[in-house]
Structure 1
């Protein structure tokens, strides 16, 4: 520890050979060599502070200055006019009375820095030679700067004239050459220089006479004294740091007391002392070479502590139990671990014991001296009586003699005014009879453990017990009374473990307890007023009470000594921080000397003090803020965007942004003596209403503060610091609002509001004028929309209604055209009718498709197809029309067929509608078709048509894609019509995620359709779905060969004309039953053995889907095939039909031949299964094709028969009951599925089982 310094804030600075340390009483802040600190050396030799609050430190590598405001070091790099600078080992550094800095640089000279002029001056000293060692500096009362080099004459620098002169002694001009190293030098008011040297110890030089004296030159061993540092404590006290400890030197008496390191814990930690410093509170800091720093506080309390050490003049034991004053003023002191001691309060020494007492039992619990007799109570070894004059020692122990003492463990002794000696034991109370030296037992306290016995001024005896409360004996009336603790009575005894009773100078009785505090006894009401930890007592274990000469009570506790003012009812606690050896005291261990000195025994020696010498400590240590944290991160001055513009030590106000409104601040109490108010409180004005205790922590935290102005106040709680004046440290904190809550933002809001009011007023004024116009426009748009929807709905309904009559026209025409006997003219007319029927059917389909696209009900059904082939077929259909109109029709297709996944139906409709516009052409149409790609994964299909029809005006280009519009070239305007071709094309193209455009090129109308496709490498063309399902139809004769009975077909159709037509067509091959809806059909099914059902979908009451679902979900009918006829041509309707179980699905208008083929195919498949079963009854059900319901029915049928195969009485009725069916229904089911009776099936099943066995 090379140097010690206290700055103007109160921080202690310690310069070591391993860094610079700043201490705030609790924690250290360490500065070391690093790029962050700008320090280049870790050895710090001297520390001081200039008048600008900067900390200057000298090192072995020059001088560094710490800016306390910006918390940053910088190297002192000023140069003189001759370019000299401070570098190397700076052995000493001082400030003069003007605040200038003086620096002694080894092997170089002295630098003077004029801080006001920012000027550096170098003094070249003639005697400075190479190898010159350490120099010391000081300033005397004449403002002369003394330079004390190594073994050289001293030098004086006149600051005014800047002259350097040599100083040598008159009495011995060679003496200064022999002093060795000068570590420190002081100038006093008596024109004396006190010089610390390595060879001559401490010397004094008279500046006027130029004479010297050696004050200290030998250590206790007689060796030369190496003096390293000096510190003046007061006018006549000098602390001298040496290699042999500290010498406290009285300059008046010239007496020195040597303080050295020894086994005492409170002694110096090391004898090599390098620095001594007296702080602002008078405390003395002692820095050593190996032992760190030691602190000797300047206390306002004077506790003398005595405890056992390895010294003859020491108390023998630690556990001090009893004090007893001898007639000569000396003190007998009993301990529980080392026996008896005799203490001389005057000389503060422990005297040698008489020989009989040296071997006395060590565990002593009570002492009492009477008539030159010293009574000594011990634990387990009886009661001893020592004759002080004769030296005779007698021991009383328990025996069979009834007059012997009742117990060998005696704890209390008390002689009352009637010369009765009361003896308290572990099991009761005895009274000693002086006449026959016998003992009498007190029956009332038999078996009770006694703690203490006391007689008050009224002559009453008070007996404290370990656990049985407090006993009182009144000798005048021979009456006993006991006081016990009652938890329900606050005025009862504080606790049943009573340690002592004390009576003060005002005759007030005080009772101490172990665990309940202490109480004041009211003699009149015989009640207690209790003092404990709830009303200010630091600890509830109270051993003893003594009163000082000022009427105050001193209490020994387990938490130190407690001063108590009975009038003010105030407490002050003294602990080891105030100079005590321990905080835990002992039973029955207190004494007050005639001069007012108080003694208290503890578990580690005893303490004595005289409260008269105590003085009130009104010095309040400063509180400083040391660290600031923002949103849990440290905020430093050097940080970017830091709210700190200077160190938190000097900051008076902090502004925080609204989004960084949580902070923590650490504080320090710059007190080093340990005695200062412990209860620190704080409050944030503008946020807190009450003071908040820090509870011993040294940090304050606030989170999520609203924008506003706050003031943080921190202070000592005066109530808990026993009258110490309250001081405060404040910090203003401003949380800035977000930009939208600033004053200029509010100004902007006002402007916006005013502007808004103006704009809104103007808006409503304009709105009122246009309101009627807008209402009219809305009304017209709604009417237009309603008209459009009504058109769509009308044409859609008409299309649905037309499809059924078209079927009645188309089907008979097909039948008639098959007649080869028709005349040619008639046949030509009929073919014209057929073509127009197909044309009308195409128009109705377009209307229905457009409605689906408008309602977003059209679902794409993509499949793999040869797109080139499909396009070629579409174009070939229009060749006859082109020839008929004499239109040149050219077609350009890609060389290689395009195989892709598309919706063929939508593709055909889009291309057909585009090519259909050839009817508006004059002479030619060009059609081109190709496939393009942006990359290898994205392909686009391009279809372009060009024609020489009327050019559409620019203003109508977008109108051509709207429904129900066409171009009237005579009037050259758009008129409403029935055309929906281009509108349907546009809707389907967009559904295919493509686009359709119209443009004019070379005076030609150009329509182009482009949409993405998924091109496949597989060249296999997917055939038409209907071709896959075609099955050869067997002739009627072939059917008759299988069975003479014709199949019974149920026809369900609500349209009478269609129903009659179908009956005529089907009656040729099948027997027919008819029904007009699903409900009637179900009734027919229950009463007839129907072989197949042909049903329309759209019917009243129950449609075809519901009818099919009922048939397929009913086990009685699930085997019957169902064919659905419908005008619903979309894929979703087909899927729904097959999902409910339909076996066939035919669209209207339909071919009768296709219907007959479907019926024949389904009946033949059913007949094949029956024939297979009849020919091979042992075939498994898994080898034939059945629907799921029939498969489950037959599996359950086999399972039921197998479970009852051994029952000869099991018959068809039992079998039908297993399926919850009537016998007739069960018969129809088996007959319908297998064409055999249930009895036949049961017989076959039994034959199967027999064959297996």
Structure 2
């Protein structure tokens, strides 16, 4: 295609602009369509062919390889050295039934394996293919007006346009010698009315006229359909000529008598009394006069409000609240902190920013010092009570900040606030209490800079930040953000209030004038765009595992630290894309991320996991497009179940073997002690057990040996007398011998290589053996009690431990031997 003529394009642009303007006038608010042009930066600027595959990815054939675009990043693939081509140039591309990409260079056709990310030869069924256009030819678009679309946007001049195509969302892609162009259709949801200065407020009188007040002190009056009627002159007339009003008006209200009241900042309060059918007004100015009850006690009046009972509430930016009630003649009688309001309960509001009267006859007064709540139904000021809500650092349910910028009540009754820009809401409906709970509303789509709020009749709350508009559903807890679609739509908003003209038009003043929109037509695109998981990249090995269309992957044990990369395939992006991801079973909550299209995970145990990710579309609306990927992490050899069972069995066997060795050692020690006891019995010819010192003491001096013999005899004599006592204790034995328990333990270890308890048990076992051999008519329980055991079962365990046989077995053996001896 030849270079476009520079003379031809302006005429086409003018034609398109006229057509779009006519369509906007016909359709009304929120129906202005336009095209947005953007250049997709590619490493090689010559794009010869464009393809959107079945997944939704964009593939580009260029003079220097094949490129894949997922809406965020462009990834290059080069045929050389995988294929015998003269260069990396690719002229045409097409998708194969296997989802691989057919690439053609002149008369040579190769295939790109998207899973292995390598070029290779064609399969056998395509060996005879000479041109990929024979495999699958793109369908022609009827009434293709791509040239008119190009003419309607500002695009750079290029030497050649190679081709163009449309994706499934009707976005226009153009491949040129100067790079890749993307042209998307945009809808302007907001109508912009430009003025010379910032619009401060709107007001509708009882004749349905709309008053528009701007910072240049102009008050323009419109009819119900916003057709201009004229300006308010200094003498109170409505005139056609552009006229400046002499007072800086900030707020306008109308009372029951038809009088229009204006908060005129440092000029005090203005009362406009209508005459001549409301087309002319008598202006009366009320300046500060503390001695006259018909005047407020300060001049800098910032905001006024007339409640349903007709009471006038007057707030000053730096002063305390004034309240005025009309008398029988219609004149207002003011009360302030030093007069009638001295009777009120609670702190009198000061630095008042604005008022909001709820459906429950409750008035919210928001200021720089917090939120005040009171009931508007009272007969005397002594019945009036203000409940003051402020920020408390120790209480998470208190106001986020004291500086209240805006308050509104939704159609369903929820109260939404902007506290220093932070969006929050009141929990419950009990506003008249000392501590009202609040809940913060997360706004990840935009910073906490909410300047103004209002509600529509559908239950939505509308608000503005410093440069954008958003809506909030208090029931579903959903926020939709509407940033400017183009630099030309950028507007600068302040804390000035919204104005609801009718059900189909909401207006908001800004520095450039005002915007207006139909809340029924402002909506996000609902196109369901898929999420593409491209790869899983391991952190230690820096290995990339291509996911593409797979639903399950496997990782080696050393690859358990990895990151998953994903992207939503929506190329018409007017808002930042948000992602929510989690590892099911591992993450309890969704993790939110803006623009960052990777999810890192570190040191996950071996096992099977399911990774899930969902996102907003390019318009900022959350979609039901959840994409799941099963990730299997292989265990190390010592983490396998069979190895763990073997290790557990070996551990249990080692414990059992240790207990067995300890038991065998104890038995050997006991047997040695019993052998010593038997030796002592033979030495002293005593019927019971009489211990003897250790034979290893032969090298001791005669004096030491005599002392040990005396100690042993004294010990055995005491045991002989008390061995049948079941309450015999080691302390009794030590007390009889005249030594401490510790000294007794050391002495027994030295002489008999056992503890006092083991020595006592050994003597009792020896006594039980004597009973069994001398009196075989006794049963086991009697033998146990006579030997000093208070529990026959414990006696049985000790007997078997020392003799290797149970008492019943030993007693049976003794009886059998006695019977045999008699025969």
TM range (shorter): 0.5 to 0.7
2:582 maps to what in 1?
A: 682
- More displaced, 655-664 or 385-394? 385-394
Q: How far apart are residue 73 of structure 1 and its match?
A: 4.8
1:484 maps to what in 2?
A: 388
- The reply to whether residue 322 of structure 1 matches residue 201 of structure 2 is yes
Matched position secondary structure for 1:711:
strand
Q: Deviations over 1:474-512 (max 9, x none)?
A: 363233422223536777666543334544556666555
Q: How far apart are residue 730 of structure 1 and its match?
A: 0.9
Q: How far apart are residue 439 of structure 1 and its match?
A: 8.9
* Aligned-partner Cα distance in 1 for 2:466–2:578: 19
Match of 2:376 among 456, 474, 496: 474
Structure 1 gaps of 5+ residues are 87-100, 103-112, 116-136, 140-185, 189-193, 195-229, 231-238, 248-258, 262-267, 307-312, 637-643, 751-1253
* Aligned-partner Cα distance in 1 for 2:194–2:83: 52
* Aligned-partner Cα distance in 2 for 1:381–1:5: 67
Match of 2:352 among 432, 450, 469: 450
Match of 1:623 among 518, 531, 556: 531
* Aligned-partner Cα distance in 1 for 2:157–2:230: 33
Relative to structure 1, the CA distance from residue 554 to residue 631 in structure 2 (aligned partners, 3 Å threshold; closer, same or farther) is closer
Q: Deviations over 1:790-826 (max 9, x none)?
A: xxxxxxxxxxxxxxxxxxxxxxxxxxxxxxxxxxxxx
Between 1 and 2, higher relative CO (CA 8 Å, sep ≥ 6) is seen in 2
- The reply to whether residue 366 of structure 1 matches residue 274 of structure 2 is no
Q: How far apart are residue 451 of structure 1 and its match?
A: 0.7
Q: How far apart are residue 548 of structure 1 and its match?
A: 2.8
Relative to structure 1, the CA distance from residue 320 to residue 43 in structure 2 (aligned partners, 3 Å threshold; closer, same or farther) is farther
1:24 maps to what in 2?
A: 70
Contact 2:405 2:421 in 1 (8 A): no
Match of 2:146 among 227, 231, 240: 240
What is the number of residues matched between the two proteins?
A: 564
Relative to structure 1, the CA distance from residue 502 to residue 62 in structure 2 (aligned partners, 3 Å threshold; closer, same or farther) is same
* Aligned-partner Cα distance in 1 for 2:176–2:602: 45
Matched position secondary structure for 1:714:
strand
- The reply to whether residue 413 of structure 1 matches residue 413 of structure 2 is no
- The reply to whether residue 427 of structure 1 matches residue 427 of structure 2 is no
- More displaced, 40-49 or 497-506? 40-49
1:304 maps to what in 2?
A: 190
* Aligned-partner Cα distance in 2 for 1:74–1:368: 78
* Aligned-partner Cα distance in 1 for 2:66–2:268: 63
1:574 maps to what in 2?
A: 481
1:594 maps to what in 2?
A: 502
* Aligned-partner Cα distance in 1 for 2:497–2:74: 41
- The reply to whether residue 648 of structure 1 matches residue 544 of structure 2 is no
Q: Deviations over 1:222-264 (max 9, x none)?
A: xxxxxxxx3xxxxxxxx5334xx547xxxxxxxxxxx444xxx
Relative to structure 1, the CA distance from residue 471 to residue 447 in structure 2 (aligned partners, 3 Å threshold; closer, same or farther) is closer
Q: Deviations over 1:835-859 (max 9, x none)?
A: xxxxxxxxxxxxxxxxxxxxxxxxx
Matched position secondary structure for 2:497:
strand
2:565 maps to what in 1?
A: 666
Q: How far apart are residue 77 of structure 1 and its match?
A: 13
Relative to structure 1, the CA distance from residue 663 to residue 595 in structure 2 (aligned partners, 3 Å threshold; closer, same or farther) is closer
Q: How far apart are residue 649 of structure 1 and its match?
A: 0.9
2:53 maps to what in 1?
A: 7
* Aligned-partner Cα distance in 2 for 1:525–1:572: 29
2:660 maps to what in 1?
A: none
* Aligned-partner Cα distance in 2 for 1:542–1:591: 16
Contact 2:288 2:298 in 1 (8 A): no
TM-score for the superposition, normalised by structure 2: 0.53
Matched position secondary structure for 2:520:
helix
Structure 2 gaps of 5+ residues are 1-38, 40-46, 232-238, 342-346, 650-823
Matched position secondary structure for 2:97:
coil
1:1082 maps to what in 2?
A: none
1:716 maps to what in 2?
A: 614
Relative to structure 1, the CA distance from residue 384 to residue 398 in structure 2 (aligned partners, 3 Å threshold; closer, same or farther) is closer
1:698 maps to what in 2?
A: 597
* Aligned-partner Cα distance in 2 for 1:528–1:442: 26
Spell out the pairing of 1:399-548 with structure 2 (5 A cutoff): 409-417=300-308, 422-428=313-319, 429=321, 440=334, 442-443=336-337, 444=341, 448-457=350-359, 461-467=363-369, 469-470=371-372, 472=374, 474=376, 476-479=378-381, 480-485=384-389, 487=392, 495-505=401-411, 512-514=418-420, 517-519=424-426, 521-523=429-431, 528-533=436-441, 542-548=450-456
* Aligned-partner Cα distance in 2 for 1:590–1:411: 17
* Aligned-partner Cα distance in 1 for 2:357–2:639: 81
Q: Deviations over 1:714-755 (max 9, x none)?
A: 23399xx998547232133352656998999999xx9xxxxx
Contact 1:427 1:446 in 2 (8 A): no
Relative to structure 1, the CA distance from residue 338 to residue 49 in structure 2 (aligned partners, 3 Å threshold; closer, same or farther) is farther
* Aligned-partner Cα distance in 2 for 1:57–1:397: 83
Q: How far apart are residue 668 of structure 1 and its match?
A: 1.8
Match of 2:628 among 729, 742, 745: 729
Relative to structure 1, the CA distance from residue 573 to residue 606 in structure 2 (aligned partners, 3 Å threshold; closer, same or farther) is farther
Spell out the pairing of 1:652-1051 with structure 2 (5 A cutoff): 652-674=551-573, 678-683=578-583, 688=586, 690=588, 693=591, 695-696=593-594, 697-703=596-602, 708-716=606-614, 725=624, 727-735=626-634, 737=636
Contact 1:283 1:295 in 2 (8 A): yes
Contact 1:532 1:540 in 2 (8 A): no
Q: Deviations over 1:967-1010 (max 9, x none)?
A: xxxxxxxxxxxxxxxxxxxxxxxxxxxxxxxxxxxxxxxxxxxx
Relative to structure 1, the CA distance from residue 624 to residue 494 in structure 2 (aligned partners, 3 Å threshold; closer, same or farther) is closer
1:1090 maps to what in 2?
A: none
* Aligned-partner Cα distance in 2 for 1:321–1:61: 69
* Aligned-partner Cα distance in 1 for 2:400–2:588: 33
Q: Deviations over 1:1011-1034 (max 9, x none)?
A: xxxxxxxxxxxxxxxxxxxxxxxx
Contact 1:16 1:44 in 2 (8 A): yes
* Aligned-partner Cα distance in 1 for 2:160–2:209: 39
1:1059 maps to what in 2?
A: none
Contact 1:494 1:528 in 2 (8 A): no
Relative to structure 1, the CA distance from residue 484 to residue 619 in structure 2 (aligned partners, 3 Å threshold; closer, same or farther) is same
* Aligned-partner Cα distance in 2 for 1:80–1:694: 46
Contact 2:453 2:462 in 1 (8 A): yes
Matched position secondary structure for 2:202:
strand
Relative to structure 1, the CA distance from residue 240 to residue 451 in structure 2 (aligned partners, 3 Å threshold; closer, same or farther) is same
Q: How far apart are residue 48 of structure 1 and its match?
A: 4.5
Spell out the pairing of 1:212-251 with structure 2 (5 A cutoff): 230=144, 239-242=145-148, 246=150
Q: How far apart are residue 9 of structure 1 and its match?
A: 1.8
* Aligned-partner Cα distance in 1 for 2:357–2:126: 85
* Aligned-partner Cα distance in 1 for 2:283–2:179: 52
Q: Deviations over 1:412-441 (max 9, x none)?
A: 233344555544332345659897999956
